[in-house]
Amino acid sequence: MKSFKVLKDFFRDNAWRYGLGIFWLIVVNTINLQVPRLLGTVTDLLSTRQIGPMDLLRYAGYILGIAAAIAIGRFSWRIFIMGSARKLEYYLRNKLFAHLETLSANFFTENKTGDLMAHATNDISAVRMAMGPGVLMLTDSLYITTITVITMAKNIDGKMTLFALLPMPFLAVIALVFGQKIHVRFKAVQQAFSSMTDRVQENLAGIRVIKSFVQEEAEIARFDKAADNYVVKSMNMIKLWGLFMPIMQLIAGISYLIVLAYGGIMVIHARITLGDLVAFISYLGMLIWPMMAVGRVINVLQRGAASMERLNALFDQTPDVNDHPEAVPVSSLKGDIDFRNLSFAYPDGTQALRNISIKVEKGKTLAIIGRTGSGKTTLVNLLLRLYNTEPGQLLIDGIDINMIPLATLRESIGYVPQDNFLFSDTIANNIGFAGDFSPEDIEEAARLAQVYDNIVEFPLKFETMTGERGVTLSGGQKQRISIARALVKDPNILILDDCLSAVDTHTEEEILKGLRQVRKGRTSIIISHRVSTVMDADEIVVLDQGKIIERGTHEQLVRRGGLYQHLYLKQQLEKKVSEA
């Protein structure tokens, strides 16, 4: 199917597994077809009293032998078909995760985590069902139907076979109509599941905020609404599926009725034997299962196709930020940064920066200060190339940032973000996240970030688990571990994005004292709303509404009497009040 084109590499490499599975399935079905014939023969021999106890034992032995062969065959096709479906699930989940890792920051801004989790669980599971049980039932149905019909017509009676198959066209029409409706309704179910998953993820992530504002009941009500929507969508599909199966059974019952009526007349008139009728009914029983399975096959395949379409929508997403085809082959960056009349607007049209011109020489420190929403973090995001800039507007070492390989750019930058995200791992692994660092390197980075003394007070020291998003640590400890994570890389460019907001002024002074030594010889960009954090920078830039409104050293800006002076005096007053 067109929906499954993204899996063509998997099918190419695993076609032999499916081939072997289908081979064993056909072998099992072929052997299985011998059972009705045996039952018919035994019935005729019993009705004419031409069989003795030893003959019965011999035929029982045949049936046991057939059962053993079927058991071996079934084990084989399960290993190859169902096993291949599990391999496909593994392949698809890894492929999806790897693809998500390549997408740009803007994609994760526009897509909710819960929805992506639903794709990685429910949708992939539905695809596995289509490529496992779906393939099995489809092959089984086609082969059994074909061989059984031929056997019934050839060995017993062609006319009775034709009568038994009269309801089949109705089956095909019903299957087609219901299949299309199931496809639509299953997509609605998956979308409802995504919304519900997203609601759970968001609540668990924000559980402390919920409890702080005593909003448990309100959030339970919101979840109940999402869960109710999922139930409604699921019931809509189940009702359709529930109607589908009884209709299939009704058609199967009509076939039995035709065979019993017509076959009974033929036995009475001695046109066929009683054994032939028993065999024919047994064959019809084998034929009824594929008729019933058609509905299940359609359901499973339509679910798989609907889920694959949702996954394809993700695979069709391409990263906004890529290595340029003619990227300059540089292995490291020295740290000369040049913003040249840079302007930037987010994809939604929001203008974030206007005409920014700043030059930062290697080894110098630039500080950026301004009110919330002034564009400080946006400037850093452009340096990390989380978004693209216009050609010639941002250069590093004289090279357009768009022409620098992404790996080289980001490996040369030590970045400490505002949110101080920590992984649910040990403190040592969080600090050494960027590579393979020795314990000595990790400890030294912790000392420079003024968090070493806190860490060694924990019972497990650097092997202490941080918990989800660092929940076991204080805000200040998380910030300092994030600083250590950036410092351990020994980067040529160091970016601190308002990363000292959760520490007290004394700890801030200690961290800044340690960073003064670290900053020597490397380009540093410090973003803060605290004047005390930026006052010793070589140049301070004041941003407001995406524009530079002031620039200079601390002393120059304090004397100038603008926004910087206002912030400085305000924070000095707050400090005095706090001390008092």
- CA-CA distances (angstroms) from residue 51 to 39, 44, 409? 13, 9, 88
DSSP state of 447: H
Q: How many residues does the chain have?
A: 580
Sign of the torsion formed by the C-alpha atoms of 81, 87, 91 and 97: positive
pLDDT tens for each residue of 243-297: 877 877 777 777 777 777 777 887 777 777 777 777 777 777 766 667 666 666 7
Nearest to 430 by CA among 479, 388, 393, 396: 479
Label residue 501 by pLDDT band (50, 70, 90).
Answer: low
Q: Are 416 and 519 spatial neighbours (Cβ–Cβ below 8 Å)?
A: no
What is the spatial distance between Cα 216 and Cα 207, in angstroms, rounded to a whole number? 9
Label residue 2 by pLDDT band (50, 70, 90).
Answer: low
Q: What is the mean pLDDT of residues 375-392?
A: 85
**pTM here?**
0.69
Token look-up 């008139």 returns 269
HSE (CB half, 13 Å, CA atoms) of 569? 10
- Taking 80 as the threshold, does the pLDDT of residue 118 lie above it? no
Nearest to 542 by CA among 524, 522, 528: 528
Specify the pLDDT at position 367.
87
Specify the pLDDT at position 455.
86
Q: What is the mean pLDDT of residues 73-96?
A: 87
Specify the pLDDT at position 322.
81
Instruction: Please give the residue that has the higher pLDDT: either 290 or 406.
Output: 406
